[in-house]
Amino acid sequence: MPSAFNFSASPFDCLTPDEQQLVQDSVDIAYFPQGATILAPGAQPTHLFVIIKGFVQQFDGNDVVTTYGPEDCFDGRGLMAGKVSSRFVAAEEVVAYQLARQAVSDLIAGNVTFGALLFSDLSNKLSALSERQSRHELQSLTMARVDEAFVRTPHFVDADMSILDVTRQFHSLRTATLLVRDSQVSPPALGIFTLTGLQRAILDGTPLDRLAVRGLTNFSLIKVRPSDQLGDALAVMIKHKVHRVVVAEGEHITGVLEALDLFSFLSNHSYLINVQILDARDVPALQEAAGQITRLISLLQRSGTHINMIARLVQELNAKLFERAWQLIAPPDLVANSCLFVMGSEGRGEQLLKTDQDNGLVLRDGYEPACDVAAVCRRFSAALADFGYPPCPGNIMVSNPQWCQSVTDFSQTARLWLMAATTDGLMALAIFLDAHAVCGDRTLLDKVRAAVYDMTADNDAMLARFASAINAFGNSSAWWNRLLFRGDQGKEALDIKKAGTFPLVHGVRSLALAHHVSATSTVERVQALVAAGRLPEKLANDLIDSLHFFMGLKLKVGLQQLETGHAASDEIALDKLSSLDRDLLKDTLGVVKQFKALLNQRFHLEAM
């Protein structure tokens, strides 16, 4: 009886100790030589296989549907259906655990999550995984470090300062907390004065310009360290019945943690960054807020927050960041007579980690700016680069005159994209279709978008050429394996953008263009297409789930790459994935394959 079964691999990681013992009592080891057919269509399976060594290929006819490697399971669906529908062949020597059918049935009956992760369709698998993650979210947040929350900058005043001058400090510094230094005592003391102390000062009756802050200051500071957990900081506040604590490393004061900020962090971390952006009075202050966004993304990902929620928060924060930067850099007259917009994944609300700038500017027809618009746009692009958004290699930015035009000129440019239907033109059109207004008069952008839709009516040839980009990578024959390539370390890797995200996003974009769907996000486009009867609901739900999985997987890998000093990329090292991620990747790539077949039929791409 094997004793080294890996219970840390999905879906066995959700089993209780008793259920793990059931597996131990019911599992054996099987060996298959290279080329052996392990399961044939129509066979009645008696075991669930978990690969220890080697690879197994699943065939539908002569096509390889997917490949299973170490810690992957097969064929659960056949086991429960009582009949195998595909052929499973050992691509090389295979050693595998085989778990008896009765034991699998008992596990499913007693553990809903196990059954969902092992046998369900994509939607139910992801739902089960989401429920399991959400149980740990709040616990993970309270275990975050104090310095990962919004720690307010410390402001110091002398103990001899009058209450009137302290009140002026409250107003000018936009704060409700000041740290008070008293150098007349030995050793020098440090205390805290808040708005509560101001209320007591007013009730004292002494003229505020003659009342020193010393007498109303609390010199018994409650401190926490930057490395302490937020849960511990909360416990300290509760224990001492205070609403704020001083954050210090030894004698060095780094800031003040307010109870309101702590609770805001636990409930909605984006609120604090939004406050920083709105309060920014110059571009350097915005740069600090931009740095907080990446830290927020990392924290939310580690806490198990749903990927669509992270994406929505990031889109809103980036939009506020770009809007405030434009307002600080561009003259008010230019802001009022233009529309600043973002495109690509940022425009669709699907960007997580910072990527290349994709933005443009539409000017009102007849508007004659008093400023040098080109110079303003260059300063804006430079500011975003300082924020961590690198310049676009294709120069699709406001600093490029081709992406800074009047409504009429932009509409004429779009007409050329459509009429010429060149590769570059259709790429520009695809990018523009994702345009999302972030500042100024958004009706200007709407006018250009409306002109684009007017020109695409009944233009089937152009639509087919536009949609054909979904087949730019790989082909329908054994496409999973053909998209594998050797990464930097010589190991198998997958370009998740080419294999999954791009054909899904561009396919939905193509259907949206064909049916004049004005939404810019992929999810909203899918929902609109379903409502119009243009997309099957089951496939639509799988597309949304697949998109969110691709985004989540790319984010997880990207954060790991950043933490190890590498740039985030679309390359996924397959040998680094968990068995659950590999299983879900197979399912989601299968959804993309199904969607591409629908698109090839809808746009008659086989003839191209």
pLDDT of residue 590: 87
pLDDT digit string, tens, across residues 331-344 = 999 999 999 999 98
Q: Reply yes or no on whether the pLDDT at 248 is more than 90.
A: yes
Could you tell me the maximum CA-CA distance found in the chain, to the nearest angstrom?
Answer: 95
Q: Reply yes or no on whether the pLDDT at 608 is more than 70.
A: no
The torsion angles phi and psi of 578, rounded to 5 degrees, stand at: -75, 165
Question: Comparing 580 with 411, which gets the higher pLDDT?
Answer: 411
Per-residue tokens: 310: 């992270």
Q: Is the peptide bond between 542 and the residue preceding it cis, with omega within 30 degrees of 0? A: no
Query: Picking from 166-180, 227-241, 410-424, which range would have the lowest pLDDT averaged per residue?
Result: 227-241
Cα distances (angstroms) measured from residue 314 to each of 348, 349, 392: 11, 8, 20
Instruction: Report d(CA 554, CA 119) in Å as an integer.
Output: 24
pLDDT of residue 478: 33
Domains, the chain, ranges and CATH?
A: 12-119 (2.60.120.10), 270-457 (3.30.460.10), 464-607 (1.20.120)
User: Is beta strand 177-182 parallel, antiparallel or unpaired with respect to 156-158?
Assistant: parallel
Helical (H) or strand (E) element with 415 = helix 407-420
Helical (H) or strand (E) element with 194 = strand 189-194
Where does 13-97 have alpha helices with state H?
17-26, 76-81
In which band, very low, low, confident or very high, does the pLDDT at 285 lie, cut at 50, 70 and 90?
confident
How much of the chain exceeds pLDDT 90, in percent? Answer: 43
In which band, very low, low, confident or very high, does the pLDDT at 151 lie, cut at 50, 70 and 90?
confident
What distance, in Å, lies between the first and last C-alpha atoms of the chain?
57
User: Is beta strand 338-342 parallel, antiparallel or unpaired with respect to 436-440?
Assistant: antiparallel
Helical (H) or strand (E) element with 139 = helix 137-142
Please give the DSSP secondary-structure letter assigned to residue 151.
P
Cα distances (angstroms) measured from residue 401 to each of 59, 332, 334, 409, 412: 52, 20, 16, 11, 14
Q: In 10 A of CB 123, how many CB atoms?
A: 16
Mean pLDDT of 50-56: 90
CB 535 within 8 A of CB 514: no
pLDDT digit string, tens, across residues 488-527 = 444 567 888 898 999 999 999 999 999 989 899 999 999 9
In which band, very low, low, confident or very high, does the pLDDT at 82 lie, cut at 50, 70 and 90?
confident
326-359 burial code (b ≥16 CB/10 A, e <16): bebbbeeebbebbbbbbbbbbbbbbbbbbebbbb
Q: Reply yes or no on whether the pLDDT at 155 is more than 80.
A: yes
457, burial (CB in 10 Å: exposed 0-12, middle 13-18, buried 19+): exposed
pLDDT of residue 307: 83
382: left (phi over 0), alpha (psi -120 to 50) or beta: alpha
Instruction: Report d(CA 320, CA 529) in Å as an integer.
Output: 29
Name the residue with tokens 């097969």. 74
Instruction: Report d(CA 6, CA 51) in Å as an integer.
Output: 11
Mean pLDDT of 79-83: 82
How much helix, strand and coil, in percent to the nearest 5, is found in the chain?
55, 15, 30
Per-residue tokens: 39: 């399961």
pTM above 0.85, yes or no: no
Which residues are within 8 A (CB) of 252 and not within 5 positions of it... i.e. 6 or more apart?
A: none
Q: Reply yes or no on whether the pLDDT at 190 is more than 80.
A: yes
Mean pLDDT of 26-53: 92
Order of strands, sheet of 436-440, starting from the edge strand that comes earlier in the sequence? 404-406, 359-363, 338-342, 436-440
CB 45 within 8 A of CB 99: no
Q: Reply yes or no on whether the pLDDT at 132 is more than 70.
A: no
Helical (H) or strand (E) element with 66 = strand 63-68
pLDDT digit string, tens, across residues 87-119 = 999 989 999 999 999 999 898 888 877 876 776
Question: Comparing 108 with 598, which gets the higher pLDDT?
Answer: 598
Name the residue with tokens 């250009």. 448
3-state secondary structure of 583: helix
24-38 burial code (b ≥16 CB/10 A, e <16): eebbeeeebeeeeeb
How much of the chain exceeds pLDDT 70, in percent? Answer: 89
Q: Cα 497 from chain centroid?
A: 14
Q: Reply yes or no on whether the pLDDT at 447 is more than 90.
A: yes
Q: Mean pLDDT over all residues of the chain? A: 85
Per-residue tokens: 424: 């570059």
Mean pLDDT of 587-601: 92
User: Is beta strand 56-60 parallel, antiparallel or unpaired with respect to 63-68?
Assistant: antiparallel
Per-residue tokens: 460: 């089937």
Q: Cα 173 from chain centroid?
A: 34
The torsion angles phi and psi of 499, rounded to 5 degrees, stand at: -80, -35
Please give the DSSP secondary-structure letter assigned to residue 39.
E
